[in-house]
Amino acid sequence: MIENPVFVRGMSRSGGTLLVTILDSHPNISMSYEIYPRQLDIGEMTGSAEELLELARSLQEQEDPVMALKLLPSKSMSNFVARCPRGGVSHQRFGEILESHVNSGFLLNTPEEKMKVMERCCLDKMEREGKSTWGLKCDNRYSEYIELWPDSFFLNIVRDGRDVLASQLNTGSFNPDPFECGRGWAYTHRKFEQFMKDYPGHGHIVSYEKLCTNPLEEMEEVFFKLGMENNSSALDYHKKDLTIFTASHLSMDRISKPIDTTSIGRWKDEVSKEQMVEFMKSAGDMMEKYGYR
Question: 3-state class of 154 per DSSP?
Answer: strand
Read off the pLDDT of each residue in 233-246 and give the average, rounded to a whole number.
Answer: 97
Question: What integer pLDDT is reported at residue 164 of this predicted model?
Answer: 98
**What global pTM score does this model have?**
0.96
Question: With pLDDT > 70 as the criterion, what percentage of the chain qualifies?
Answer: 99
Q: What is the pLDDT of residue 120?
A: 97
pLDDT confidence band for 172 (50 / 70 / 90): confident
Helix intervals (H) in the chain: 16-24, 49-61, 65-70, 75-83, 91-103, 111-129, 142-148, 161-170, 178-198, 208-213, 215-226, 252-255, 267-270, 273-289
Residues 155, 206 contacting (CB under 8 angstroms): yes
Instruction: Give 69-108 pLDDT, tens digit per residue.
Output: 999 999 999 999 999 999 999 999 999 999 999 999 999 9
Per-residue confidence (pLDDT) for residue 240, from 0 to 100:
97
Q: Across residues 239-258, what is the average pLDDT?
A: 96
pLDDT reading at 285 higher than 80: yes
Mean pLDDT of 128-143: 96
pLDDT at residue 197 in the model: 98
- Residue 3: pLDDT band (50, 70, 90) is confident
Mean pLDDT of 44-51: 96
pLDDT of res. 2: 58
pLDDT at 235 over 60: yes
49 pLDDT higher than 60: yes
Q: Using CA atoms in the order 141, 142, 144, 146, what is the torsion angle rounded to 10 degrees?
A: 170
Helix (H, G, I), strand (E, B) or coil at 266: coil
**With contact defined as beta carbons under 8 Å apart, do 100 and 116 qualify?**
no
Q: Is the pLDDT of residue 57 over 80?
A: yes
Cα separation, 267 vs 164, in Å, equals 8
pLDDT at 111 over 60: yes
Across the chain, what does the average pLDDT equal?
A: 96
Average pLDDT, integer, range 143-156: 96
